[in-house]
Homo-oligomer: A and B are copies of this chain.
Amino acid sequence: MSSVSIIGTGNMARTIGTLAVAGGNTVEVMGRDHAKSADLAKSLGGGTTTGEWGAVPAGDIVIVALLFDGVVPTVAHYGDALAGKVIVDISNPFNATFDGLAHREVTSIAQEVAKVAPAGADVVKGFNTVFRHVLENGRPDIFIAGDDARAKAAVEAFVKSLGMRPMDAGGLKMAHWLEGAGVLTMGLARHGVGGWDFSLGVTELRA
């Protein structure tokens, strides 16, 4: 069982929160708007609590479920409140035409988060290659990347509690290519593959 705080009250916060509760994890919701946090916590059930925006999260794993351009500023705002936490960045920094990344440099939101995260916090990229409705209704493979082995092990345990397979792609710099895999997934969906009801996954060799 993991102890998880979710920053955000939007669709992805709801989806991951629902899965987390179903997986037997302890969940806290931290929204800017306390009423929205309370509503979501009530909706999630399972003893879900709420926390104040910017306060020390109750969870060991902190999932930032915001639009990509809010992630780095929010982690910076939390600052030392995130010391010792495993910060999970799930964002997709799509460009305006959804066929590339918003940053042209070889970086990622996760790597930029690591630059502003407090000492002792570790960043893991994950969940970004999956459409929300597939995450909600399926058992997609969850690709992750991060530099700290214990942080990745914590996220892997959480992913397994959701009934999904964690797939370790390597160090945090691989987050750039995970964001690229998000672009690729979007490209496939827009060109007729899988009718949007699919995800990138690991396919074992089959004859």
Contact = CB atoms under 8 A, between A and B. Distances in A.
A86 B170 CA distance: 35
Number of copies: 2
A94 B132 CA distance: 31
Given A137-B207, A184-B174, A187-B174, A200 B200 contact: yes
A167 interface: yes
B193 A202 contact: yes
Contacts of A201: 200-203
Nearest to A138: B205
Contact of A180 (B138, B180, B188, B199): B180
Contact of A197 (B170, B187, B188, B204): B204
Interface in A154-195: 167-171, 173-174, 176-178, 180-181, 183-184, 187-188, 190-194
Contacts of A106: 100, 104
Interface residues of A, number: 44
Contact of A169 (B138, B139, B184): B184
Interface of A: 99-100, 104, 106, 134, 137-141, 143, 145, 167-171, 173-174, 176-178, 180-181, 183-184, 187-188, 190-194, 197-207
